[in-house]
Structure 1
């Protein structure tokens, strides 16, 4: 059920042309705002490794993507940056993503759920492969990162990358739905 109403076409710039990321952002904004939406995908650099290997680098990639999208296309209502990453914990490798939603006032961060990657994929990543390429090799797929992703492959599409991102994007929208509770947050990443 939509929570907020604007009387104009809301413009959201997504810092990716990956349809999984674009659709997750579109669905999240559609669920939260009763507006006509214009989603503009744009290719920008994350400013981090192609395969972020820890929490901080992954979050920084999402922050950088949202900031670069804001630099690329000014005057939009919102900017969304999504960065997937992995992190090692007790010799197990976990996958997740950070999502940053920003407007002209502040930015909000949210993180997806985390899931463990199989040892075979972990070894391929440690040998220098990106997660999407490792998934494609192990599961004999092509371009799975623009489709169901690792989580979809591992759950037989019971949970897909888009669904995972959609939930986190909804969480990142919370401060914009409750602006009065977050007014002191005036930070914007450069």
Structure 2
């Protein structure tokens, strides 16, 4: 890691919500640093709409690695101090036997979540290290799930497009996102990501105060 005079962070997206979430999280965890946070349009290497934990996590990892590569390409091979990937996904929760005898509880429903992946610079003394965290999840409205699955013979939609269709909005994924809609503004997409980014940064924030705490022994 570079001295706290300056930290350069590459983000695997140009979405302003994601870039601002990363900026806020790093500013809170490294308050003495001068931050340079740059977003790059990079591929996730997974489906446009990831389903399940494995694919969503892989998308976040890929975005972090691709952000590192994009930054190096743009800066003559010089790597950032950190590269960050954020990937949203959905998963069908199957309750199975758990729902029996519980009135009003469906046997299955679809939830939304996201993975955060933070990697340190390969040029650092410790080499590449990772911090990974998952957001909290929340249930999607059945109408959104139906659009995402392409029910009724319609083409499947990504979550952001389905969200816009149900809530009569435009480009909501670059604003408050689905989470802001369903919570009526109590939690927006920036805050939703920021919480998990704090957790993904846990392995790195002890480097100065408790050296070696999260390093392999």
Query: If you compute each CA radius of gyration, which structure gives the higher value, 1 or 2?
Result: 2
Q: Trace 1:33-182 onto structure 2 (pairs within 5 A).
A: 33=30, 34-74=32-72, 75-90=79-94, 91-104=108-121, 105-127=128-150, 128-179=156-207, 180-182=212-214
Counterpart of 1:20? 17
Is 2:206 the partner of 1:183? no
Q: Following the alignment from structure 1 to structure 2, what is the Cα–Cα distance between the partners of residues 107 and 181?
A: 14
Q: Following the alignment from structure 2 to structure 1, what is the Cα–Cα distance between the partners of residues 56 and 120?
A: 20
TM-score by length of 2: 0.81
The structure 1 segments of at least 4 consecutive aligned residues displaced by more than 3 Å after TM superposition are none
* Structure 2 SS opposite 1:97: strand
- CA positional deviation for 1:7: 4.1
- CA positional deviation for 1:41: 0.6
- Return the structure number with greater relative CO, CA threshold 8 A, min gap 6: 1
TM-score by length of 1: 0.92
Which moves more between the two structures, 165-174 or 5-14?
5-14
What runs of 5+ residues in structure 2 fail to find an aligned partner? 73-78, 95-107, 122-127, 151-155
- CA positional deviation for 1:8: 2.4
- CA positional deviation for 1:178: 2.1
What runs of 5+ residues in structure 1 fail to find an aligned partner? 186-190
- CA positional deviation for 1:155: 1.2
How big is each residue's C-alpha offset from its partner over 1:93-125, in whole Å with a ceiling of 9 and x where there is no partner? 000000001112211100100000011001011
CA RMSD of aligned residues (A): 1.3
Counterpart of 1:188? none
Which moves more between the two structures, 173-182 or 21-30?
173-182
How big is each residue's C-alpha offset from its partner over 1:28-65, in whole Å with a ceiling of 9 and x where there is no partner? 00001021100011000000000001100000000000
